[in-house]
């Protein structure tokens, strides 16, 4: 029972993350695998780039919800199984699992997205105030530059400073998660950083796709 208590929230989080929203929307409604188009990324940004806002917005919403539900439902599952409060370490593990699921989804050949939207959902679930400011930072950079990658990287780097120094997270374990976000997002955007430096990164546009 102890093993089940600790592993079930993590497994559920990974399976939630593994829901390949962009892939399923592209295949079922447009007969397109977004991983073979545009940047090749199975995320909301590439879905917008390839299929337009009508497809991309629902993908973004579901991907955010995956992260949010994973960290909110983990304490519920643990409490149901053990009748005890969940450890913050287990919440941290569940947050990592849902992002890994999105990045390496078992339901889509382990070829997923970069985890930005799912991490936003995690942030909303654990640090709502900091997540809100992070969204404003993302939006500001995006409005100025039209680069989603630069906006994501900038917002992710600012995120731990907001959590630790502005909103003063009382839980050091969750502060570690916030720092991990600032490391993980730039790593998953390595190719984008290279293209930004070389001036070849694509700007997003909102042209309607047929």
- Please tell me the predicted confidence (pLDDT) of residue 83: 86
Tell which residue, 64, 179, 189, 185, has the closest CA to residue 128. Answer: 64
Q: Let me know if residue 205 belongs to a domain.
A: no
Q: Let me know if residue 167 belongs to a domain.
A: yes
- Please tell me the predicted confidence (pLDDT) of residue 3: 79
Q: Let me know if residue 206 belongs to a domain.
A: no
Instruction: Determine the Cα–Cα distance for residues 44 and 130; give it in Å rounded to an integer.
Output: 22
Q: Let me know if residue 89 belongs to a domain.
A: yes
Q: Let me know if residue 203 belongs to a domain.
A: no
**Dihedrals phi, psi of 125, to nearest 5 degrees:** -70, -35
Counted domains in the chain: 1
Tens-place pLDDT, residues 60-91: 999 999 999 999 999 999 999 888 889 999 99
First to last CA, the chain: 52
Look at 139 and 168; give whichever has higher pLDDT. Answer: 139
Instruction: Determine the Cα–Cα distance for residues 116 and 142; give it in Å rounded to an integer.
Output: 14
- Mean pLDDT on 187-200: 94
CB atoms within 10 A of CB 180: 18
Q: Let me know if residue 75 belongs to a domain.
A: yes
Q: Let me know if residue 204 belongs to a domain.
A: no
- Please tell me the predicted confidence (pLDDT) of residue 174: 87
Q: Let me know if residue 7 belongs to a domain.
A: yes
Does the pLDDT of residue 206 top 80, yes or no? Answer: no
DSSP 82-118: HSSPPPHHHHHHHHHHHHHHHHS-GGGTT----SHHH
Does the pLDDT of residue 208 top 80, yes or no? Answer: no
Domain that residue 100 falls in: 2-198
């Amino acid at each position: 029972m102890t093993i089940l208590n600790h592993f079930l929230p993590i497994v559920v989080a990974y399976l939630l993350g593994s829901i390949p929203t962009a892939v399923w929307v592209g295949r079922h409604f447009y007969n397109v695998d977004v991983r073979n188009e545009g940047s090749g990324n199975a995320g909301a940004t590439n879905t917008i780039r390839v299929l337009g806002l009508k497809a991309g917005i629902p993908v973004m919403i579901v991907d955010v919800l995956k992260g949010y539900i994973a960290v909110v439902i983990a304490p519920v599952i643990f409490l149901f199984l053990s009748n005890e409060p969940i450890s913050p370490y287990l919440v941290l593990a569940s947050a990592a699992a849902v992002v890994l699921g999105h990045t390496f989804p078992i339901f889509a050949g382990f070829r997923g997205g970069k985890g930005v939207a799912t991490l936003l959902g995690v942030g909303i679930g654990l640090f709502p105030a900091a997540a809100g400011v992070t969204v404003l930072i993302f939006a500001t950079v995006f409005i100025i530059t039209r680069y989603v990658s630069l906006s994501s990287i900038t917002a992710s780097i600012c995120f731990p400073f907001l959590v630790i120094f502005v909103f003063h997270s009382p839980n050091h374990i969750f502060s570690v998660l916030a720092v991990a976000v600032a490391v993980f997002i730039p790593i998953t955007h390595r190719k984008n950083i290279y293209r930004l430096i070389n001036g070849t990164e694509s700007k997003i546009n909102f042209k309607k796709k047929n």
